[in-house]
Structure 1
């Protein structure tokens, strides 16, 4: 069944047309991530460091989108990689989650420590860097907006940039408060706010990546309902050895053995089962093994 190849081409077509915009956003945000990190070190602003860490999520998120598009274009070029390089996106997401968790914890702990005795920061350079970062986020936001409606990977990068845009606004507010009132607590408070904002997203990202890597069923797919649906296809007497998992974001995969009733037409049953999985469960790639009744001794399913 060629559904997996078709879906790979869909991923490629949807993302390929926006690859130039993704690269532009990637380069722009990567440069300003470094600028913000240097600016945080020079000014002593923890809020700026926090925003640089948040911008890193944007850079890595866009990088994963580009990697997914590249994987889709190379999926069939290596006979030894029968599923292409789709899992590279998931591995990158897990590494991203671990690294961001460390950065967020460091920012929160350091911010709490500074609340006792907040150090002075260089407000002018802090404000200038924060404004530049905000402008970079706005440009990246505009670059990705059109593709967010067509590609799942572009949409993920788009949402990352949107979140960082809000964090940049927070840093600008902190710099403004310090400049106008001299209230140095604004810097660690905003840093904590951004760090707390990052942590739940980091947890969700890591949990989603681990769920894919352990090949658990997608959260929106009820395996019992899949089994019941396949069992209800005309000509199917039994469903066994059913597995549903996620290959990479937006690409669900299933395999199952279907025992046919006497006289059932194989092509009709396969077509109906495939259509059911596509329409009801959004499973694009399915490998279905059909067996005649009485094939229990021939079919030896997995026992793990």
Structure 2
């Protein structure tokens, strides 16, 4: 058997920077959340309340993401985690997706009630708060955008038995960024609803925008749920698996068993069993250069 030996730190080079930016966004989001919920309640605007409750779920989800960054860093060298703590962010993302899904149902239900009852809305008071909410969302997006744009380049690690390139994609951070952008879109919906109600008399437009906002949240929650669950369930990276098969075929060896799964935002683990008399060291030497492969094990077994 031939195996590369190296630390199980699969957090990525921008982990700490992303954690710092995420904490700032939590503070901004929580502050605006309180303002919008209070204003929405006092003015009777369902669109504003929907945006405020959306921000509440954001603050919780992004707060969980911030905690995940801290936990992953604190336990990165803990031997209890066989493949490190690179998937902590995916666990946090899955939990957040469940909360978001429930929140979207609550907003949709309340919007339907408001659509039937048509309560009075203080448009003049609600509009400024909604606009401030949009500004806060844009500031948060700008705060996150630098780290988001930095993803996608490559680097090398010089291990005793391992050189590799990572495609920097912190899915936890990317989810936070996309979530903030979706908040901005929901804020735009709230502003549009309030303007339509104030100047066109379309009072029903406000709860309709609340329903649309709930659908946006539900769609984001479903996407996050699928992506994070795929990582947590160790689904195979088909592209890298095909690359491994191609390399082994080129060396005239036969694969008996192959496992490829994600162990961090930009890190994959590969375990491949090949039939004797294949040379494990030779196969490992060819495979260790595959992009994203951070943990590689090549084993030989007698052919059945």
TM-score class normalised by the smaller sequence:
0.7 to 0.9
Question: After superposition, what is the alpha-carbon deviation per residue over 1:242-287, rounded to whole angstroms, capped at 9, x for unaligned?
Answer: 122233544332222233536x4x4332110222xx24xx4x2233
8 Å CA contact 2:45, 2:206 repeated in 1: yes
Q: Counterpart of 1:299?
A: none
Answering whether residue 53 of structure 2 is matched by residue 39 of structure 1, we say no
In structure 2, relative to structure 1, the CA distance for the partners of 1:229 and 1:52 (3 Å cut) is farther
Question: After superposition, what is the alpha-carbon deviation per residue over 1:167-201, rounded to whole angstroms, capped at 9, x for unaligned?
Answer: 11111121222222332112101111111122222
CA RMSD of superposed structures (Å): 2.7
2:248 is aligned, of 231, 239, 243, to: 231
Higher relative contact order at CA 8 Å, sep ≥6: structure 1 or structure 2? 2
CA distance in 2, matches of 1:244, 1:68: 24
Answering whether residue 279 of structure 2 is matched by residue 270 of structure 1, we say no
2:221 is aligned, of 190, 194, 202, to: 202
CA distance in 1, matches of 2:20, 2:102: 32
8 Å CA contact 1:71, 1:86 repeated in 2: no
CA distance in 2, matches of 1:190, 1:181: 15
Answering whether residue 183 of structure 2 is matched by residue 170 of structure 1, we say no
TM-score (norm 2): 0.80
**Structure 1 runs (4+) greater than 4 angstroms displaced:** none
In structure 2, relative to structure 1, the CA distance for the partners of 1:68 and 1:83 (3 Å cut) is farther
Q: Counterpart of 1:243?
A: 259
CA distance in 1, matches of 2:232, 2:76: 21
Aligned pair count reads: 282
Q: CA deviation at 1:66?
A: 3.3
**Structure 2 unaligned residues grouped into runs of 5+:** 152-169
CA distance in 1, matches of 2:38, 2:27: 17
Q: Counterpart of 1:300?
A: none
Answering whether residue 22 of structure 2 is matched by residue 22 of structure 1, we say yes
In structure 2, relative to structure 1, the CA distance for the partners of 1:3 and 1:196 (3 Å cut) is farther
CA distance in 2, matches of 1:107, 1:91: 25
Question: After superposition, what is the alpha-carbon deviation per residue over 1:22-79, rounded to whole angstroms, capped at 9, x for unaligned?
Answer: 3222211122122222333332222122212332454345445534543553354322
In structure 2, relative to structure 1, the CA distance for the partners of 1:228 and 1:20 (3 Å cut) is closer
Q: CA deviation at 1:238?
A: 2.1
Q: Counterpart of 2:178?
A: 159
**Structure 1 unaligned residues grouped into runs of 5+:** 297-304
8 Å CA contact 2:8, 2:83 repeated in 1: no
Question: After superposition, what is the alpha-carbon deviation per residue over 1:84-138, rounded to whole angstroms, capped at 9, x for unaligned?
Answer: 3333322322221222112212222332333233111222332222122111111
Answering whether residue 66 of structure 2 is matched by residue 66 of structure 1, we say yes
CA distance in 2, matches of 1:57, 1:248: 25
Q: CA deviation at 1:147?
A: 0.9
TM-score (norm 1): 0.80
In structure 2, relative to structure 1, the CA distance for the partners of 1:63 and 1:254 (3 Å cut) is farther
